[in-house]
Amino acid sequence: MNGCVFCGIVAGEVPAFRVVDEPDGVAFLDTRPVFKGHVLVVPRTHLVTLADLPADALAGYFGLVRRLAAAVETGLGAGGTFVAINNKVSQSVPHLHTHVVPRTKGDGLRGFFWPRTRYADDAEAREYADRIAAALQPA
């Protein structure tokens, strides 16, 4: 879709720290992560909400989300993950995307208040993306 930043990332026209690019979706680091290693997973096709995702795409898309949740834990040594989707309200980019956020006990995240952080530089962001990608199990 013209003007959609996530469609631009999928097309390779907008730079992003990609973790994986597969037929079922593309995953990349959030530029304003809740915690470092926060990944966004998007379908390749422009869809606005979860309700727009075709039934025959559910297994592939959520299979990728599941694999990324495991890779975030393994690759970053996280204690767990927080996986979430906003539909319309609080959806900063109107393209379906699933947040996979690394969690550790006592990390301070409470409820739905999502404080944001930044990577020190591109090298640090690339390191996080590479660590997650290296831990990603094949489909």
Q: Catalytic residue positions?
A: 97
Contact 50, 61 (CB under 8 A): no
